[in-house]
Amino acid sequence: MAASVLLSITGATRRFRTPEGGSVHALDAVDLDVRGNEFLTLLGPSGCGKTTLLKAIAGFEDLDAGDIRLDGASLRDVPAHRRPFNTVFQSYALFPHLSVADNVGYGLDVARVPRAERDRRVAEALARVGLEAMGRRAPRQLSGGQQQRVALARALVNRPRLLLLDEPLSALDRHLRQAMQGELKALQHDVGITFLVVTHDQEEALAMSDRIAVMHAGRVRQLGTPAEIYDTPVDRFVAGFVGASNLVRGTWRSTAHGGGCVTTPAGIDIHAEGVASIANGATVDALLRPEQLSPIADGAGAAGPTLAATVASTVFVGPDVHLHAHLADGTPLQALLRHARGQALPFAVGARVVLAYRPAAVHVIAAQAT
């Protein structure tokens, strides 16, 4: 992956007036570098500013402060139609009065690309998304998934520097969505164009991205690879938004070499390793992902540290069983069990269970004011 910076966003700020006369920050001094040829996802709940940022990049939204630079040159005075970016809209926004081929050729037509080249590139783009036979259809004659491919082809045919995708998979059903995640990723790799995707779906973000920027309340809270975001979230918000998480609040007591222990007010200890730069006695959150907790029925044979809990409920979801339990002080915990075919669950509701974990799998977050 080329690490060169393609798009540089600095101090991007956008305020909106509320009906009550106040103002809210849709974007609050966002700094973000988009690299060449990467798959970057803006992930966050609705209202976090990710769509506003996408629109600002596309040129459909002004910034109150800050700047967006392409190859170092400010885009401030460049109108949307002169920016070398293309967007796949959430609703696809296919032109209903044009055939599929004319939709795809639209950008080339307004750029006055010669007919022969235009037709060749349209055919190429349609073939790339597997719709070579659909050129003469009207958009409304296609399924949702096919319409999305047309929207992709229509954008990519212009060879943009940056492809912006606004919730590209939200209108598809679950099966199609999962198939398209892989296809989008493969397509990005194929065409070598930077993809900037906006989504609220953390699974989607984890599955497709080279990097994820998690946004909340108009700010980028964390930027990193999917594994970094998942394993070492910087705060409770990121930990809670990306993946299922058990967050247990306590006081940090460090021992040697980054090791230590989070003690809850009720005196329950959670051991951790590889924790750097957290002051002794600080209030922290220990993050334990459900799959890092191994439920053991009788407590025997656990090599490392364990937590004693009581089973509250079990939910069978197919490949896994979600085990909901709580600690002696009532803190709820979720653990994951692999489902073994034909084997009855060994955990009855109300039964005692021992949850084993590796201290290295515990992530400790300094509890800042959030």
Binding interface with other proteins (CB under 8 A): 58-60, 79-82, 85-87, 89, 91, 93-99, 106-107, 109-111, 138, 154-155, 158
Q: Taking the complex as a whole, how short is the minimal distance between the CB of residue 201 and other proteins, in angstroms? A: 21
Provide CB contacts within 8 A for 37, sequence distance 6+: 1, 2, 192, 193, 194
- Name which of 16 and 95 has its Cβ closer to other proteins: 95
Q: How far is the CB of 120 from other proteins (least distance, A)?
A: 18
Distance of alpha carbon 370 from alpha carbon 365, whole angstroms: 12
Could you tell me the smallest distance in angstroms from the CB atom of residue 26 to other proteins?
A: 18
Residue with the two structure tokens 């705060």: 235
Query: What's the distance, Cα to Cα, between the start and end of the chain in Å?
Result: 35
Mapped onto helix, strand or coil, the DSSP state of residue 367 is coil
Minimum Å gap between C-beta 67 and other proteins is 21
Per-residue tokens: 13? 């700020």
Q: Which is nearer to other proteins, 39 or 85 (CB)?
A: 85
Total residues belonging to the chain: 370
- SS3 state of residue 100: helix
356: tokens are 């084993």
- Whole-angstrom distance, CA of residue 32 vs CA of residue 146: 33
Rounded CA-CA distance 289/357 in Å is: 10
For residue 148, the minimal CB distance to other proteins (Å) is 13
- Separation CA 370–CA 235 (nearest Å): 8
- Residues 43, 200: contact at Cβ < 8 Å? yes
Question: Residue 24 in contact with residue 15, Cβ under 8 Å?
Answer: yes
Other CB atoms within 10 Å distance of the CB of residue 122: 24
Task: Give the nearer residue to other proteins in terms of CB position, either 104 or 307.
Answer: 104
Sheet with 5-17, edge to edge strand ranges? 23-35, 5-17, 65-70, 73-74
Question: At its nearest, how many Å lie between other proteins and the CB of residue 98?
Answer: 8
As measured in angstroms, the least distance from the Cβ of 278 to other proteins is 46
Nearest approach, Cβ of residue 104 and other proteins (Å): 10
